[in-house]
A and B are shown apart, each in its own frame.
Chain A
Amino acid sequence: MRTWLMLLTAACAPLIALPVGAHAFLDHAMPAVGSTVHVSPAQVKLWFSQELEPAFSTAQVSDSTGKRIDQGDARIDGTLLTVSVPPLAPGRYRVSWRVLSVDTHATAGDFSFDVAR
């Protein structure tokens, strides 16, 4: 048993010392995933689990008809991706994102939120 544990320790130790990266996944967003807001947000903000590569990371917001309504100004600050939206009428909106983490792992996803009066 002791030998096994020593071997495991030896196996794990070098994993700590090396630089690592990972896929970037959505950690949370504002408006929150699946939420209903009563005031139209000026921006949609997405926080990811990894730093993003600005040149290859973007997000779009579309309305319930599928028409893109964001202002096309997606910008990256570390793990935060922000995109501006015009005043939103009540309804359902879908946020689609596609990002590249700094170690070149690509991920994508989407979610919706509602704007209510």
Chain B
Amino acid sequence: MKAERGITSKAALWALATACAGILATGTGAAHGIAGKRFFPATLATDDPFVADELSLPTIASQKTSASGEEPATRETGFSVDVSKRVTDNLGIGFGATYKVLQLEGGPTQRGFDNLAASVKYKFYQSDECETILSAGVDWDIGGSGSRRVGAESFSTLTPALFFGKGFGDLPDPMTLLRPFAVTGLIGLGIPTRSGTTLVSDEGDISVERHPHTLQWGFAVEYSVPYLQSSVRDVGLREPFNQMIPVVEFAMSTALDRGASGTAGTVNPGVIWAGRYAQLAVEVVIPVNNRSGNRVGWIAQLHFFLDDIFPTTIGRPIFGR
């Protein structure tokens, strides 16, 4: 039975690969996330500052945690879809959903959707000359919309945030080889709509789980080979290497109050391959401390540029040009 399921999954994977090949095997070039001559790819662990028409389908993340106390070792795998849509050139909305699978070692497997997410983002500054972009937005983790079996919270969390992106194409001549570097990132405040949740154990013991405000912060450092080849020096790299963007992401959360403190997060080195209509990305997920986990995981994403795939229909802003 297990083997049969494996074969079917392989067939489905081949079908998926074939279906997507036309989108991916399209050679050079890229799409949204452009400031001047800089193309910023979509990042996986930290939201980028761009307002764009894009679809991440899927993002797959997997990480195993070691056993701790009465908690068994667990492998958590998430399958996510995220879609962003421009309302105007500078205002966008987004929605996201994640299906989680929790495989408890020696125990049952739990499956279900995590809370749905919605967001709005406004780009209020862009300098093409300085390859700089700034935007502000709010993310809404919709409490109670997911399954408690996989740990979805019953309360919502609102996260207003500032997003930034900066390319270093304006570095002086002696530093030309550093010009392909760029950084994107965000800083936000996670505001839970409930300060705590009362828990009652099977034995009737009552406890209160407190939900602190959190500082959500992170950034991505990337080195764009396409930028190197088209603006600094053609070093002769050809496909697929001329479309690769090595990246290291830092995704952090710092508890601020309600008896909690400390920072948790991950450092994710990886590589993004950007084509004309889609990008592929793979990153290793490394916890920064014990609070963040104790095993290395991975995350992979297939991301479509809807503004390039459907330039005259759903890839355009709802209002405006």
A residues lining the B interface (CB < 8 Å): 1-2, 4-6, 8-9, 11-13, 15-16, 18, 20-29, 32-35, 48-50, 103-105, 107-111
Q: A25–B15 contact, CB under 8 A?
A: no
Q: B9–A5 contact, CB under 8 A?
A: yes
Cβ-closest chain B residue relative to A10: B19
Q: B99–A4 contact, CB under 8 A?
A: yes
Do A25 and B30 contact each other (CB < 8 Å), given the known contacts A4-B79, A33-B231, A110-B37?
A: yes
Q: A2–B9 contact, CB under 8 A?
A: yes
Q: Interface segment, B137-145, B204-212, B264-272, B302-310?
A: B302-310
A-B contact count, CB below 8 Å?
A: 119
CB contacts (< 8 Å) of B128 on chain A: these are 108
Do A22 and B308 contact each other (CB < 8 Å), given the known contacts A1-B9, A33-B231?
A: yes
CB contacts (< 8 Å) of B28 on chain A: these are 25, 27, 49
Q: A29–B19 contact, CB under 8 A?
A: no
Q: B29–A15 contact, CB under 8 A?
A: no
Q: How far, in angstroms, from A18 to B13 measured CA to CA in the complex?
A: 22
Cβ-closest chain B residue relative to A12: B19
Count of residues in B whose CB is under 8 Å from the partner chain:
44
Q: A109–B231 contact, CB under 8 A?
A: yes
Instruction: Verify if B116 is at the interface (C-beta below 8 Å from A).
Output: no
Q: A34–B308 contact, CB under 8 A?
A: no
- Candidates A2, A104, A105, A111; contact of B231 at CB < 8 Å: A111
Question: Could you give, for residues 35-62 of chain B, a 1 whenever the CB lies within 8 Å of some chain A CB and a 0 otherwise?
Answer: 0110100000000000000000110000
- Candidates A11, A28, A104, A105; contact of B234 at CB < 8 Å: A28
- Candidates B26, B29, B58, B230; contact of A111 at CB < 8 Å: B230
CB contacts (< 8 Å) of A18 on chain B: these are 309-310
CB contacts (< 8 Å) of B26 on chain A: these are 22
Apart from A34-B233, A108-B36, A110-B37, 6 more pairs, CB < 8 Å: A2-B9, A12-B16, A29-B234, A33-B232, A33-B234, A108-B37
Write 5 A-B pairs (CB below 8 A) sorted by A numbering.
A21-B311, A22-B277, A22-B305, A23-B308, A34-B233
Cβ-closest chain A residue relative to B275: A22
B282 smallest CB distance to A (angstroms): 17
B188 smallest CB distance to A (angstroms): 29
- Candidates A34, A103, A108; contact of B311 at CB < 8 Å: A103
Instruction: Verify if B255 is at the interface (C-beta below 8 Å from A).
Output: no
- Candidates B13, B22, B36, B309; contact of A5 at CB < 8 Å: B13
Q: A5–B231 contact, CB under 8 A?
A: no
Cβ-closest 8 pairs across A and B: A49-B29, A34-B233, A5-B12, A109-B37, A16-B22, A12-B19, A22-B276, A22-B308
CB contacts (< 8 Å) of A6 on chain B: these are 12, 15
CB contacts (< 8 Å) of B2 on chain A: these are none
- Candidates A11, A13, A20, A27; contact of B277 at CB < 8 Å: A20
Q: How far, in angstroms, from A25 to B312 measured CA to CA in the complex?
A: 20
Q: How far, in angstroms, from A26 to B230 measured CA to CA in the complex?
A: 6
Q: How far, in angstroms, from A18 to B304 measured CA to CA in the complex?
A: 14
CB contacts (< 8 Å) of A22 on chain B: these are 26, 29-31, 276-277, 305, 308
- Candidates A15, A34, A108; contact of B304 at CB < 8 Å: A15
Q: B27–A111 contact, CB under 8 A?
A: no
Q: A8–B8 contact, CB under 8 A?
A: no
B295-320 at interface with A (beta carbon < 8 Å) = 304-305, 307-312
B318 smallest CB distance to A (angstroms): 17
Question: Could you give, for residues 1-23 of chain B, a 1 whenever the CB lies within 8 Å of some chain A CB and a 0 otherwise?
Answer: 00001001100110110011011
CB contacts (< 8 Å) of A29 on chain B: these are 234
CB contacts (< 8 Å) of A5 on chain B: these are 9, 12-13, 15-16
